[in-house]
């Protein structure tokens, strides 16, 4: 498994686990637990969640599902923008820690930009860091102008990642956000890397998949991971999907494959605002 180095030197696996909509349906809990534990066992040891997911239900689910595995996991959660004042971020983190049954988050993200000045949120994050309650902080759904503003905010350059919507069908970040992040050495964490299972599997993806004896979604994940600083966090609540996704780490695409994929999934030709799911 290739690893991505965060600013500061720590590295995380390039392919990991998303959990949006897990922990919400009692009938699915057993399968979801099995899937998450399998993913960790297969080396996808970064687990992404948020206080928003099921209004805490997903974090509570993970608190149980990761029992005995916590120390081997790089745990990521996110704070709602309306909780992102200095005091709000500290209180929200305490609630997340309790639900997750842990004493620290490895990475805490501002879920998207809201009305709270960035400086306040950064001060809250830095306070949590000093207390040892979070180890790193970052942002999510920040476009290039937001990142520039963050870089001008006191303490803002300590940001460890920007988590954004990025997959073959959503290539907007390639216009100027991804280059900006590469220049500033901020890893991009790609959410919905298979467009929530809606990427067209026939055509270009199937063609490239055949060459590697792989599946179309494995190719879609390998494509997201083609840049060494990009992390993909597919969500799979079924063990067979988790195992399939883990297999994407073994695929290294070649220039001819990129040409096939570019012909069907066009790169951006102008700036568009960052899309969100
Ligand atoms: P995704 O990972 O692109 O797709 C998840 C969907 O694809 C699920 O329905 C899953 O089914 C299905 N799937 C997974 N592997 C598959 C496979 N190999 N073959 C066929 N279907 C497969 O979408 P996502 O959940 O939106 O994004 C991933 C994670 O990113 C989230 O879970 C969350 O942690 C994070 N996220 C962050 C934000 C943000 O604003 N920061 C927004 C959205 C998502 P099963 O579950 O049935 O296996």
- List the CATH number of the domain containing 161: 3.20.20.100
Name the nearest CA neighbour of 44 among 25, 81, 69.
69
Q: Is residue 269 part of a domain?
A: no
Q: Is the CB of 277 under 6 A from ligand 1?
A: yes
Q: Is residue 271 part of a domain?
A: no
Q: Is residue 59 part of a domain?
A: yes
Q: Is residue 275 part of a domain?
A: no
How close is the Cα of 203 to the center of ligand 1, in Å? 22
Q: Is the CB of 243 under 6 A from ligand 1?
A: no
How close is the Cα of 155 to the center of ligand 1, in Å? 32
Alpha helices in 184-225 (DSSP H): 204-212, 216-224
Return the structure tokens found at 167: 């997959």
Q: Is residue 277 part of a domain?
A: no
Return the structure tokens found at 151: 């870089």
Task: Give the per-residue pLDDT at 224.
Answer: 98
Name the nearest CA neighbour of 118 among 98, 95, 147, 90.
147
How close is the Cα of 244 to the center of ligand 1, in Å? 13
Q: Is residue 128 part of a domain?
A: yes
Write b or e for each residue in 9-22: b if 16 or more Cβ atoms lie within 10 A of its Cβ, otherwise e. Answer: eeebbbbbbbbbbb
Task: Give the per-residue pLDDT at 219.
Answer: 98
User: Domains in the chain: how many in total?
Assistant: 1
Task: Give the per-residue pLDDT at 15.
Answer: 98
Q: Is residue 121 part of a domain?
A: yes
How close is the Cα of 220 to the center of ligand 1, in Å? 13
Task: Give the per-residue pLDDT at 197.
Answer: 96
Contact in structure between 232 and 190 (CB atoms under 8 Å) = yes
How close is the Cα of 18 to the center of ligand 1, in Å? 6
- Which uninterrupted H or E stretch holds 46? strand 46-48
Please report the atom of ligand 1 found closest to the CA of residue 242: 15
Q: Is residue 219 part of a domain?
A: yes
Return the structure tokens found at 102: 């842990």
Half-sphere exposure of 87 (CA within 13 A, CB side): 0
Q: Is the CB of 275 under 6 A from ligand 1?
A: no
Please report the atom of ligand 1 found closest to the CA of residue 19: 32
Task: Give the per-residue pLDDT at 58.
Answer: 98
Q: Is the CB of 228 under 6 A from ligand 1?
A: no
The range of the structural domain enclosing residue 213 comes to 3-264
Task: Give the per-residue pLDDT at 181.
Answer: 98
Task: Kindly list the averaged pLDDT for each block of 10 residues, start to end, along the chain of length 277.
Answer: 95 98 98 98 98 98 98 98 98 98 98 98 98 98 98 98 98 98 98 97 97 98 96 98 98 98 98 95
């Amino acid at each position: 498994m290739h690893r991505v180095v965060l600013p500061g030197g720590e590295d995380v696996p390039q392919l990991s686990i998303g959990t949006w909509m897990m922990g919400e349906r009692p009938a699915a809990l057993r399968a979801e637990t099995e899937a998450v534990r399998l993913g960790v066992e297969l080396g996808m040891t970064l687990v992404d969640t948020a206080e928003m997911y099921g209004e805490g239900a997903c974090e509570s689910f993970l608190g149980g599902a990761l029992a005995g595995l916590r120390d081997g996991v790089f745990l990521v959660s996110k704070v709602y923008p309306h909780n992102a004042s200095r005091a709000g971020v500290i209180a929200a983190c305490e609630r997340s820690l309790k639900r997750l049954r842990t004493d620290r988050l490895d990475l805490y993200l501002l879920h998207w930009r809201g009305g709270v000045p960035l400086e306040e949120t950064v001060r809250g994050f830095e306070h949590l860091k000093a207390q040892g309650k979070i180890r790193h902080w970052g942002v999510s759904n920040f476009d290039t102008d937001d990142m520039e503003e963050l870089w001008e905010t006191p303490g803002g350059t300590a940001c460890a990642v920007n988590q954004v919507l990025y997959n073959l069908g959503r290539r907007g970040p390639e216009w100027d956000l991804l280059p900006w992040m590469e220049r500033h050495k901020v890893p991009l964490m790609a959410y919905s890397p298979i467009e929530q299972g809606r990427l067209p599997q026939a055509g270009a993806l199937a063609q490239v998949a055949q060459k590697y004896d792989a599946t179309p979604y494995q190719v879609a994940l390998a494509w997201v991971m083609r840049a060494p600083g990009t992390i993909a966090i597919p969500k799979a609540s079924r063990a067979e999907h988790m195992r399939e996704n883990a297999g994407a780490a073994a695929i290294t695409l070649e220039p001819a494959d990129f040409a096939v994929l570019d012909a069907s999934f066009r790169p951006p030709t102008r700036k568009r605002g960052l899309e969100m799911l």
